[in-house]
Amino acid sequence: MRFRRFLHNSSVTAAEMARHAGALTGQRVAGRHVVAVQDTSELVLKGSRAQDRYGAVGNGKAAGLLLHPVLAVEAGTGALLGLVAMQVWNRTAQELAPRRQRATAAKESQRWIDATRQAGDILTAAASITMVSDRESDFYELFATRPHNVDLVVRACQNRRIEAQKDEPGLLFAFIDTQPEQARVAVTIPAAPGRKARDAELAMRFAPVRLRRPLNGADPALPDMVDLTLVDVREVSQPDDGSEPVHWRLLTTHRVATVAEARRVIDLYRMRWTIEEFFRTLKSAGFDIEAADMGDPHAMINFVAAATIAAVTIKQLVQARDGNTGQLLNDAFDPLDQPILEAVCAKLEGKTERQRNPHPKGTLAFAAWIIARLGGWTGYYGKPGPKVMRLGLAEFSAIKYGVNLAIQNV
């Protein structure tokens, strides 16, 4: 009942929850090289009341909400550091003017610009910030208005006009196709629905490009041209599983003059996969949030925001369970949680080596072992996933509440 009242309270908003979570992430990124990954996911609500009270998603065939989070990931290690910002909204049925007659601020695409600006404001303590996003974010205004402290890596979608030299094609894709192959790199393509993970060899091309402002729909106040670099990577052979070969055209504000710098841009883009795994945690793998049946959109938006924040912690714990990220406890927990976690660990540990926490105290891996055990993992078989971590985190929250209650009543 207390949680229900919280969600329905008119003073509680998803924006305020996002600000609080972002402030904590802003503290964690100090001195780190950060990749800020943003994307949008449709939440198709399956409850009986969804059709009447929620806007269209799924190409108009379903009803639900839209969620657009920004996650902070440490470059190099891939460690998830926290939630930077998020937007959750319910589409209205209001008739809108044709897309090209509306300013960007009146379109849903404004979310990409807003999220990039928020990342620049919130992550100021980071050593560097690179915003990574997929093809839907490929529009001219994002490049032209980016904050000075944020670099971009965007997968190109539009075959844009470019400022061409003599005898060069004047379109982006045709131009890069004329460039010689400059190197080949070996990468692992992660698994996805309907696709197994595989090793691939990618041919690489890169060249500076000068994008020209679009003739239609763009604000005339924007600069006539924007200087970027295009990094083109293509899978050399046809995959054995019949899936489409990889072909990424990456537009970036990073300086790319060498093969090593081009490879770095590719590696930064590949960190975008973290947000795909996060959406899976929020939906099928951890929370099954789309099964929620709330008739009040305000309450449902608040629920999505709260679940998003919790899902980030779940993803951090799953990622840290083997100790590979090298993260400290403070990347996901309050410093005051450490003595509680250590006390719980002492109760959970057994006499055999397999029953003892193998990770150093004060690390996130140490906490992940404890949370997994609280969630029902025995320590013997398999590795704990999102559902186990979710159950364990709920158990730990109850223990922490009891500890704090006892302290207050002393």
Residues 218, 346: one domain? no
**Paired tokens of 225:** 């041209």
What kind and span of H or E run contains 44?
strand 41-44
pLDDT at residue 99, as a whole number: 60
CA distances from 252 to 19, 108, 151, 185, 214 (A): 28, 23, 7, 19, 18
Residues 92, 177: one domain? yes
Residue 107: pLDDT band (50, 70, 90) is: confident
**Paired tokens of 178:** 């004329």
Residues 264, 177: one domain? yes
Q: Is residue 302 part of a domain?
A: no
pLDDT at residue 100, as a whole number: 60
pLDDT at residue 49, as a whole number: 67
The CATH number of the domain where 137 resides is what? Answer: 3.90.350.10
Residues 21, 169: one domain? yes
pLDDT at residue 216, as a whole number: 82
Query: Are 176 and 254 contacting, i.e. CB atoms less than 8 angstroms apart?
Result: no
Give the CA angle between residues 39, 43, 47 to the nearest 5°.
175
**CA 387 – CA 374 distance, rounded (Å):** 12
pLDDT in tens, 205-261: 999 999 999 988 788 899 999 999 999 999 988 887 778 888 999 999 999 999 999
Task: Between 328 and 60, name the one with better pLDDT.
Answer: 328
Residues 325, 287: one domain? no
Residues 140, 199: one domain? yes
Residues 107, 187: one domain? yes
Residues 29, 116: one domain? yes
Residues 203, 277: one domain? yes
pLDDT in tens, 302-356: 999 999 999 999 999 999 999 999 999 999 999 999 999 999 999 999 888 888 9
Number of folded domains in the chain? Answer: 2
Residues 283, 326: one domain? no
Question: How, if at all, do strands 151-155 and 183-189 pair?
Answer: unpaired
Decide if pLDDT at 410 tops 60. Answer: no
Which residues constitute the domain of residue 269? 2-291
Give mean pLDDT, residues 353-377. 95
For the chain, helix, strand, coil in percent to 5 are: 40, 25, 40
CA 324, chain centre distance (Å): 19
- 3-class SS at 277? helix
Residue where a domain stops, chosen among 291, 310, 330: 291
Residue 407: pLDDT band (50, 70, 90) is: low
Nearest to 330 by CA among 358, 362, 308, 360: 362
Residues 270, 393: one domain? no
Give the CA angle between residues 318, 321, 324 to the nearest 5°.
110
Q: Is residue 313 part of a domain?
A: no
Residue where a domain stops, chosen among 246, 271, 291: 291
Average pLDDT, the chain: 91
Residue 380: pLDDT band (50, 70, 90) is: confident
Q: Is residue 309 part of a domain?
A: no
Residues 283, 335: one domain? no
pLDDT at residue 50, as a whole number: 67
